[in-house]
Structure 1
Amino acid sequence: MTDAPADGPIDPDVDLHVPAQRFELRRAPWSTLAAVSAGGVLGALARYGLTSAFPYGPGEFPWAVFGINASGCLAIGALMVLITEIRRAHRLVRPFLGVGVLGGFTTFSTYVVDIQRAVEDGAAALALGYLAGTLAAALLAVFAGVRLTRLLARPRHGHRP
């Protein structure tokens, strides 16, 4: 394992050579932690509501968790384009929405537990399908979120106000 050079950036969003960013780094953790925490509560509550509304039993495909992870990845792709390419957002938007809400909403830990339970219940084919299907859906969803957001945000040529 190689370590990053001591003078290299730890966080590409922060340049410690800029005095204002050094100050921001000192005060940011509490507001950032609060934003992530508040967003995480909202995202986790939304996930809990959906998994409660659409329960699944042993040997059944966990459609709720699959849908949560795919839709959350779609939203993450769209959000990152919106706040990095379309419009500069407040510094707490990404921690609140990206890490907090969408991080709390998506649940790849439950995905892994569901795979393990399916294998233990003798549904290895279901587990393998769920493993590959969720991975493919998540990657495609992020890609689709990015591409669709860029497409929808592109200026319309030939359009007259």
Structure 2
Amino acid sequence: MISSLLQVALGGALGASARYLTNIASMRLFGSGFPIGTVFVNVLGSFLMGVLVVVLAHKGGNRWAPFLMTGILGGFTTFSAFSLDAATLYERGELGLAAVYVVVTVSLSLVALFAGMATMRGVFA
């Protein structure tokens, strides 16, 4: 139990740090008008979750799940930030942009998750 908790804590610190750096880089590259950094981490995190689900299942690596999936990816992906970004766009009166943001993020994240799973299932087939 303590070992798993430490794995989650360490992974979460790494994932959250990676998310922070990604958002800083995104704002510098694209500006702050649209939360592209949040879209990016959610889509990439979903793809990597799909990859890990298959890899860990095929390699018997479930002992790494707390560190990799709950910790790193849990810290890296940003559902609460996604929700805040959507609400902020909505409250600024940018209803269309808020709707696009929600649909694009959720759709691409689901596609990325399935793509990650399919990619690794192809590797292990």
Match of 1:8 in 2: none
Correspondences of 1:120-159 after superposition (within 5 Å) = 120-154=91-125
Cα distance, 1:122 vs structure 2: 1.2
Out of 79, 82, 89, the residue aligned to residue 111 of structure 1 is 82
TM-align CA RMSD: 1.0
Gaps of 5+ in 2: none
Q: Which has the higher helix share?
A: 2
Match of 2:52 in 1: 79
Q: How many residues align?
A: 122
Gaps of 5+ in 1: 1-28, 155-161
Higher RCO (CA-CA < 8 Å; seq separation 6+): 2
Cα distance, 1:152 vs structure 2: 2.0
Partner SS state of residue 61, structure 2: coil
Q: 1:117 to 1:30 in 2, by over 3 A?
A: same
CA distance in 1 between counterparts of 2:78 and 2:111 reads 17
CA distance in 2 between counterparts of 1:61 and 1:153 reads 38
CA distance in 2 between counterparts of 1:152 and 1:43 reads 26
User: What TM-score, normalized to structure 2?
Assistant: 0.93
Residue type at the aligned position of 1:107? T
1:15-71 CA distances to partner (integer Å, 9 max, x unpaired)?
Answer: xxxxxxxxxxxxxx21111000000000000000010111243xx221111011000
CA distance in 2 between counterparts of 1:89 and 1:146 reads 16
| Percent of matched pairs sharing the same residue | 37
Runs of 4+ with >4 A deviation: none
User: What TM-score, normalized to structure 1?
Assistant: 0.73
Q: 1:139 to 1:90 in 2, by over 3 A?
A: closer
